[in-house]
Amino acid sequence: SEINEVEQRLQHNLGHIKNKIMVMSGKGGVGKSTVAAYLALGLAALGHEVGLMDVDLHGPSVPRMLGLKGQHALVQEEERLIMPVSLKKNLKVISVESLMPDQDASVIWRGPLKVSVIKQFLGDVHWDHLDYLIIDSPPGTGDEPLTVAQTIPGAQALVVTTPQEIALADVRKSLDFCRQINLPVLGMVENMSGVICPHCGEEIALYGSGGGENLAAANGLRFLAKLPVDSRLVLASDLGHPLDIMKENKGAAPGFQELVKKV
Ligand code: ADP
């Protein structure tokens, strides 16, 4: 049947992946894509075989951040396979953008269509053996992240928050979501938790500190990293030159060394 065929494709294309990490957030704009991209880059810099998959239909930002905008994925029509783009020997990247006829397409797609596009995309991308697949999921706790979680067997969630979100109850919503669908939570990351001073390089703790750590502890979760706002990261992402900042900074973006070691 059709359902069996989808299952078989998923098994075939995702079956050789050791760790599948779904990067999630309660809402947009907290740095989910940034965390996904630099986590993938950091893991690849350590020598792991890594795949990065951008499934955020609302604003696929991975291609821009990695300087891959306009590069088209190779689609083998006959076997219905989407081949990811190699950014480095051990880092392959694919964005749902490569399936979108134009940039505003996601706006006109209705909910059920989005869900079926996500499912098909997840099943059709061809990954060989990977140590890590990092998935930039759609934000929130609606049908789209649900589809990702339910389609990828064995996935774990990495929840990205900001200090403001921790004060609001958005993170709790994300954690409830994971609990309800039995998605194991690998841990939490607090992004934009402070600011790196461009003059002296010291971190200014804008929002105080400890909020994310406390929330993680209260929920029995691992607190994986606290990432400061760093203007070099903004620039690198806007220009699509992520590798320069990593070279300057011992192979990982600022704050990411710790995260990469823990996942
Ligand atoms: P999301 O995927 O959650 O919508 P993005 O990763 O696209 O968020 O980040 C939103 C904006 O914030 C982008 O312009 C990005 O470059 C910037 N940004 C995210 N995290 C950081 C950080 N730690 N330091 C500096 N800029 C950041």
User: What is this model's ipTM?
Assistant: 0.99
Q: How many CB atoms lie within 10 A of CB 52?
A: 28
Q: Is 27 labelled as part of a ligand binding site?
A: yes
Residue 31 Cα to ligand 1 middle (Å) = 4
Q: Which residue has the tokens 């669908």?
A: 181
Q: Which amino acid is at 64?
A: R
Comparing C-alpha atoms, which of 79, 73, 76 is closest to residue 5?
79
Rounded Cα distance, 150 and 217, in Å: 26
Closest C-alpha residue for ligand 1 atom 24: 229
At 198 the pLDDT is 78
Residues in the chain, overall count: 263
Q: Which amino acid is at 193?
A: S
Is residue 26 pLDDT above 60, yes or no? yes
Residue pair 85/68 in contact by the 8 Å Cβ criterion = yes
Residue 46 Cα to ligand 1 middle (Å) = 23
Residue pair 230/223 in contact by the 8 Å Cβ criterion = no
Rounded Cα distance, 157 and 21, in Å: 6
At 127 the pLDDT is 92
Rounded Cα distance, 44 and 80, in Å: 27
* C-beta of 159 in contact with ligand 1 (< 6 A): no
At 98 the pLDDT is 78
* C-beta of 32 in contact with ligand 1 (< 6 A): yes
Q: Which amino acid is at 138?
A: P
Closest C-alpha residue for ligand 1 atom 26: 234
Q: Which residue has the tokens 């500190």?
A: 209
Half-sphere exposure of 78 (CA within 13 A, CB side): 0
Site to probe by mutation for ligand 1, drawn from 23, 34, 256 as the one with most ligand atoms within 8 Å of Cβ, is 34
Closest C-alpha residue for ligand 1 atom 21: 229
Q: Is 114 labelled as part of a ligand binding site?
A: no
* C-beta of 29 in contact with ligand 1 (< 6 A): yes
Name the phi and psi angles at 194, rounded to 5: -155, -170
Q: Which CATH class is domain 2-262?
A: alpha beta
- For 67-86, give one letter per residue: b (16+ CB within 10 A) or e: bbeeeebeeeeeeebbebbe
Comparing C-alpha atoms, which of 43, 32, 46, 44 is closest to residue 190?
32
Rounded Cα distance, 258 and 250, in Å: 12
Residue 142 Cα to ligand 1 middle (Å) = 21
* C-beta of 33 in contact with ligand 1 (< 6 A): yes
Q: Is 240 labelled as part of a ligand binding site?
A: no
Residue pair 240/67 in contact by the 8 Å Cβ criterion = yes
Closest C-alpha residue for ligand 1 atom 15: 234
At 149 the pLDDT is 94
Closest C-alpha residue for ligand 1 atom 4: 29
Going from the C-alpha of 19 to that of each of 25, 156, 161, 196, 235, the distances in angstroms are 19, 8, 22, 31, 30
Rounded Cα distance, 121 and 245, in Å: 31
Q: Is 33 labelled as part of a ligand binding site?
A: yes
- Say which residues have a Cβ less than 8 Å from residue 5's Cβ, sequence separation at least 6: none
Is residue 106 pLDDT above 60, yes or no? no
31 pLDDT tier (thresholds 50, 70, 90): very high
Instruction: Give the residue-averaged pLDDT of 189-201.
Output: 86
Q: Which two tokens stand for residue 198?
A: 């461009």
The span from the first CA to the last CA of the chain, in angstroms, equals 37
For helices 231-239 and 32-45, give the axis angle rounded to 10 degrees: 90
| pLDDT tens-place string over residues 211-261 | 788 888 888 999 999 998 888 888 888 888 887 777 766 666 767 888 999
